[in-house]
Amino acid sequence: MDSWLLRNDSDGGRPRSGTVFVGGFVLGGLIIGTLGCVYAPQFSKAIAAADGKELMRKLPKFIYDEEKALEKTRKVLALKIEQLNAAIDDVSAQLRSEDASRSCEL
């Protein structure tokens, strides 16, 4: 019990670093949460009011470029999917013709 009293006396009555950290964490969370609640509706209204192209112009350049790259990738993938579907259709047609010729031979 004496060691506990000595520890409290040795820190000079100052709060411990863990207590300060938790207090700062809670206070920061409250401040950021309040700012989010205040400004989020304004951002939502601005985004809802803007059409797609106007919004893209307002975005930072790296995000806009990323959207362009994603669109290009989507187009390339769609083309490759079309090519794969055509190849599958060709193989399927060949297999059907082979099955038809085999059934005629029997």
Amino acid letter for position 82: E
Q: What is the pTM of this model?
A: 0.37
Give dist(CA 103, CA 20) in Å, integer. 85
The pLDDT, as a whole number, for residue 60 is: 61
Task: Evaluate whether 56 touches 64 at the Cβ level (below 8 Å).
Answer: yes
Together in a domain, 3 and 40: yes
Together in a domain, 55 and 94: yes
The pLDDT, as a whole number, for residue 9 is: 47
Domain that holds residue 64: 51-106
As given in the structure block, the two tokens for residue 17 are: 């670093």
Give dist(CA 26, CA 36) in Å, integer. 15
Together in a domain, 8 and 31: yes
Together in a domain, 38 and 89: no
Tens of pLDDT along the chain (106 residues) come to 444 444 554 556 677 788 889 999 999 999 999 988 887 777 777 666 666 666 666 666 666 677 788 889 999 999 999 999 999 999 999 998 887 777 766 6
The pLDDT, as a whole number, for residue 1 is: 45
Together in a domain, 32 and 83: no
Together in a domain, 56 and 95: yes
Together in a domain, 63 and 86: yes
Together in a domain, 38 and 55: no
Together in a domain, 37 and 63: no
Together in a domain, 89 and 57: yes
Together in a domain, 39 and 16: yes
Amino acid letter for position 15: P
- Domain total of the chain: 2
